Structure 1
Amino acid sequence: MSSKDDKKVEDDCKKEGEDDKSKPLHINIGDGSINFLPDWVGGSSPARFITAEEILSMNRTIEKMMIAHEIAVDPDFTIAKFTEPSTPLHRQVRDCLHKAYFDSLRDASFSNEESIKARYKEDMLDIFKTIRHQMLEVIPMSAITIQSEIKGLLDDEILRNQSDENIIDYYELTTKALTIVSKLCAANRDEMVGEALDEKELYEKIKKTLNVLKVMKIDYEDFALYQKRQLFMQHSCDYEREQFLKLLEVDKNAANITYQWLKKVFEGSEYSVLATLSNTEVSEVITQAYMCLLTQNPEEYPETFKFDEERLRKSSLEYYCLTILLTSIFIATNLSGKDIAEKKDFKKQLKRDLIALLDDLSFDNLKEKLESIYLQSNLEISKAAESFGSNHWSESQSKELKEQILSIENPNNPVRKIAASRISIFIQAIISERGQNNCRVPNGLSVIQDELIAMAKSFLYYVSHNRKTYGVLYGSFIDKMAKQS
């Protein structure tokens, strides 16, 4: 824009401002409108509006689904995982707020101002109301004597009268409350209760008492969950599915990635030419789709795996690591010869050494890891060869070992493809509905049997839950694809 144009804009603005100062200024930006975009650029307007309440409802639904899902798929789930701060910053903020609150109480207790003293009394009564409420929450209804003891000790009216007459002893009250609580605490909380009882400073004692009650509540909830876990497992799949279908009612595109994931697998399967599929054939397509998630490490995961993305990424990396491990062992034992390969504990020791090297393997650092794998494999073979004479491992064999180990970087390496195929076939058999009850580790995989079974077991656990939850939905998608093909 030239200086003349600048002057014209400035004059126009001044003129409009003089005409009506209550109106907004309008600056002429030319005839080329940027307020219009064709549908093919920005997309047409949505078919309906989504209200703020619907968005909040979706968020609440997702939170409930996440908790239900974690209980179902995590055998080590505890309530504490969802009650503790998720980040160090969150924890630090919480601790700072608690400290500031109790510091302000401590300061108020020394004040001579009537308004501050009155506020202090109310705050302290509120704290003991909270303690009373939390104690009654964790004490079983069947413990009638203890319930009565708590209600008598922390009766609201009695405490208010004592506060008004300035005869209330907050420290003694806290000690008595803790003594009652200690009768019902789990044995592993004795040390925590002991520290709270031994605390001499009032506000630290109150803080520790509240913490004991919080932990007790979690312990009781975890115990109740443990007792009813099987019952919960029976209903969690239905609950998750129902909630997901509710999300689909609000957002029809909420399963787009899921649909495309299944479509890609279906179109690449032998069943893509069929107009209708049997239940067994649908199940096999779903199993193949699960294997694609494991072996291909996609950038985007289906919406139905929203809560299992981290588990899937971990399983994919474990599969990748086992493939590299098995390929390396195949190459090393083949080149070392039968005598060395069958030497007692040779494969086990080589596996242990290579697992240590692959501990921090990622999808991006394979090349540098292969160099270390070669060096360690060469060292183990050389040590084993010493017992058979110098001719059992030559410099030329060492050079060939290096070339073959480094070639593992190529996904199309024939030995790597064999290793990947054998691992995949075993895992696919494990997670298929037909093969879960009777699967043997194939020949060649015995050296990594323990690691393979551990990985397959973990993968099976949450994939089985996913199949029970969304299998019907997947089936409807696949039926739709078959009819359209």
Structure 2
Amino acid sequence: MSEREGPSGSSPQGSEKDGNARTAPQAMPSGSRASSYYANEPIQFRVRGSTIIGASPPKFVTLEDIMKVAHGMQNMALAHEIAMGTDFKLEPFEPPDNSYQKLVKETMHKAYFDILREQLNSDPPEYKQALVLLEDVKQGLFSILLPRHTRIKEMIEEVLDADFIRQQAENNSLDFHKYASFVVDLMAKLAAPARDEMIQNITKLTDTVDIFRAILETLEVLKLDLANTLIAMIRPHVQKESVHYERAKFDDMLKVSEDGLKNTREWLLRHIDKTGLTLPVTDQNIIRNVTAQTLAKAYLELLEWDGSHEYPETVQLDAPRFSDLGMRVYRLILTASLLLLSPNCATDSQAQAQTHKQKLKEKLFILLDNTSSDTQLHTILPSIAEEVILVTEQLLESLHQEPLTSDTKELIRTQVISLRDPDHRVRQIVRQRILEFLKVILICAGGSRQIPVGLSTFTRELTSISGTLLRYVMHNKAVFTKHYMDIVAEELSKG
């Protein structure tokens, strides 16, 4: 690759083994003994949104079998996250403030550089920790190289040759600044342009210990840059292969589980509609149609999951996604209901009326942004009522019309606050229309559909939600349709 092609390096060591963490060697005690910068604590990378399915071990299963399955499911979770999460990335793991882990990390890093400074300032200078430092820098540089960077690796080996550096230390001729300049220049060539300022700041430092501290910290950032760049590069391949991979790993789990589809079966059976069917049913076309109808209703239940049932095993990996999407649907229902209850001001300008609706809609979405339950809704509705009144009066003023009367304001407040009732007529109508719209999208697998009556102002939001939902569902069905059809077929085969 050209040295400016992007954040470069190899993936974090060990990522191929456990998917979301790399464990470094155990730390050496601080003090007179030299210790490695990378040995202070396990270097961990947090994987956003990853969920691991747990399997209940049946009788007569070896521990080795269970470990293999757990390991496979963890890899499956990582592959699924890469395939499904368009914004998926690794993030640096930072222990919580005031935690024991954070205290240990800070103490060990401080001790590492304190020992280095103390040894370099002694008379004559001692280079035991310095040799460890340069070896750490060398390994850090290797970690941001790709396999094809053989020439660069050879150059690093030549310049940071451990035996030659040791000889320089023994002869008291070790030139730290020369090595620092070499490392900084190389990082500048390998890093993405976005890291130029970070690397440039290193060149402004004058203290030897501060320079190498900044170098090691920057190498960790570049290592993470590379990992995320590689993830973006392999995502198309993972998306292509993940269906087969997830299906195989899930089937491995089923082999060592007493009933790995128990929750999934209960989930589907709640939504099977046998109306008009003559049981038992063996026709595959009927089974396929019933499965499609059943799944559409079952997936919609995930958007309003109340926790009264165990979550289906086959959608466990996407539980956070369905929950987040469900919150979007919930807020859309509330916003649309509020907009329908808001007063319409008489105006001859369709554009002006639409602008008013758009302005109010955006304000309502902002006010409801953190609302995730009716309890929270109850608290915020009075403020929303005042906002509706304010926006309405601003429109009336622009139209040179009379302001709202006290009675009208009180009526608006009453209507808005009444939406706290989940069975409110307007709220239920809006909910029914939105869910029916999403159901049709799921059954027909997309296509052009008319926006429900009264919701044209929310075309963009409905399109975004339905597209996201369809993406989740299509992937899930591609992996697990056989299991879903088997469950439906078994139920319809009963007389």
Normalising by structure 1, what TM-score?
0.77
Alpha-carbon distance between aligned partners in 2 of 1:411 and 1:431, rounded to the nearest angstrom: 25
Counterparts of 1:76-475 in structure 2 under 5 Å? 76-78=87-89, 80-81=90-91, 83-85=92-94, 87-88=96-97, 89=99, 93-109=104-120, 121=128, 123-266=129-272, 275-276=281-282, 277-298=286-307, 300-333=310-343, 336=344, 339=347, 344=353, 345-363=355-373, 364-385=375-396, 387=399, 390=402, 397-432=408-443, 434-475=444-485
Alpha-carbon distance between aligned partners in 1 of 2:349 and 2:66, rounded to the nearest angstrom: 61
Alpha-carbon distance between aligned partners in 2 of 1:307 and 1:168, rounded to the nearest angstrom: 54
Alpha-carbon distance between aligned partners in 2 of 1:427 and 1:254, rounded to the nearest angstrom: 29
Q: CA deviation at 1:394?
A: 5.5
Alpha-carbon distance between aligned partners in 2 of 1:340 and 1:314, rounded to the nearest angstrom: 40
Point out the structure with max Rg over C-alpha.
1
Counterpart position of 1:16: none
Normalising by structure 2, what TM-score?
0.75
Identify which range, 354-363 or 273-282, moves more after superposition: 273-282
In the TM superposition, what whole-angstrom CA distance separates every residue of 1:325-359 from its partner, at most 9, and x where no partner exists?
A: 111111224xx476599653222222123223212
Q: CA deviation at 1:207?
A: 2.8
Q: CA deviation at 1:423?
A: 1.2
Distance 1:183 1:352, change over 3 A: closer
Kindly indicate whether the alpha-carbon contact (under 8 Å) linking 2:345 and 2:396 is maintained by their aligned counterparts in 1.
Answer: no
Alpha-carbon distance between aligned partners in 1 of 2:123 and 2:214, rounded to the nearest angstrom: 28
Structure with the higher helix share, 1 or 2: 1
Letter in 2 for 1:182: A
Alpha-carbon distance between aligned partners in 2 of 1:192 and 1:100, rounded to the nearest angstrom: 24
Distance 1:397 1:110, change over 3 A: closer
Distance 1:260 1:173, change over 3 A: same
Distance 1:346 1:84, change over 3 A: same
Q: CA deviation at 1:294?
A: 0.7
Alpha-carbon distance between aligned partners in 2 of 1:483 and 1:257, rounded to the nearest angstrom: 20
Letter in 1 for 2:449: C
In the TM superposition, what whole-angstrom CA distance separates every residue of 1:137-165 from its partner, at most 9, and x where no partner exists?
A: 43345455433321210223323333444
Distance 1:142 1:251, change over 3 A: closer
Alpha-carbon distance between aligned partners in 2 of 1:471 and 1:268, rounded to the nearest angstrom: 19
In the TM superposition, what whole-angstrom CA distance separates every residue of 1:230-286 from its partner, at most 9, and x where no partner exists?
A: 122111222222222222223334443222212212268877966344324312321
Q: CA deviation at 1:106?
A: 3.1
Q: CA deviation at 1:322?
A: 0.8
Alpha-carbon distance between aligned partners in 2 of 1:372 and 1:93, rounded to the nearest angstrom: 46
Distance 1:372 1:302, change over 3 A: same
Alpha-carbon distance between aligned partners in 2 of 1:470 and 1:178, rounded to the nearest angstrom: 50
In the TM superposition, what whole-angstrom CA distance separates every residue of 1:141-194 from its partner, at most 9, and x where no partner exists?
A: 545543332121022332333344443334432321222232222111111222
- Kindly report the root-mean-square deviation, in angstroms, between the aligned alpha carbons of the 2 structures: 3.4
In the TM superposition, what whole-angstrom CA distance separates every residue of 1:420-443 from its partner, at most 9, and x where no partner exists?
A: 1121122223344x2323234233
Letter in 2 for 1:465: H
Letter in 2 for 1:349: K
- List structure 1 runs of 4+ shifted beyond 6 angstroms: 111-114, 268-272
Q: CA deviation at 1:197?
A: 3.2
Q: Percent identity?
A: 25
Alpha-carbon distance between aligned partners in 1 of 2:278 and 2:102, rounded to the nearest angstrom: 52
Identify which range, 311-320 or 268-277, moves more after superposition: 268-277
SS of alignment partner, residue 218 of structure 1: helix
Q: Tell me, which stretches of 5 or more residues in structure 1 are unaligned?
A: 1-44
Distance 1:377 1:425, change over 3 A: same
Q: CA deviation at 1:113?
A: 12
Kindly indicate whether the alpha-carbon contact (under 8 Å) linking 2:279 and 2:494 is maintained by their aligned counterparts in 1.
Answer: no
Kindly indicate whether the alpha-carbon contact (under 8 Å) linking 1:430 and 1:439 is maintained by their aligned counterparts in 2.
Answer: yes
SS of alignment partner, residue 342 of structure 2: helix
Kindly indicate whether the alpha-carbon contact (under 8 Å) linking 2:287 and 2:489 is maintained by their aligned counterparts in 1.
Answer: no
Letter in 1 for 2:216: L
Q: CA deviation at 1:445?
A: 1.3
Counterpart position of 2:8: none
Kindly indicate whether the alpha-carbon contact (under 8 Å) linking 1:272 and 1:482 is maintained by their aligned counterparts in 2.
Answer: no
Letter in 1 for 2:425: P
Alpha-carbon distance between aligned partners in 1 of 2:413 and 2:276, rounded to the nearest angstrom: 40
Counterpart position of 1:481: 491
SS of alignment partner, residue 87 of structure 2: coil
Distance 1:221 1:243, change over 3 A: same
In the TM superposition, what whole-angstrom CA distance separates every residue of 1:56-100 from its partner, at most 9, and x where no partner exists?
A: 44443333222212211111222x32x433755466653443223
Distance 1:373 1:64, change over 3 A: same
Alpha-carbon distance between aligned partners in 1 of 2:349 and 2:423, rounded to the nearest angstrom: 25
Alpha-carbon distance between aligned partners in 2 of 1:272 and 1:252, rounded to the nearest angstrom: 32
Alpha-carbon distance between aligned partners in 2 of 1:380 and 1:273, rounded to the nearest angstrom: 58
Q: Tell me, which stretches of 5 or more residues in structure 2 are unaligned?
A: 1-55
SS of alignment partner, residue 479 of structure 1: helix
Distance 1:154 1:443, change over 3 A: same
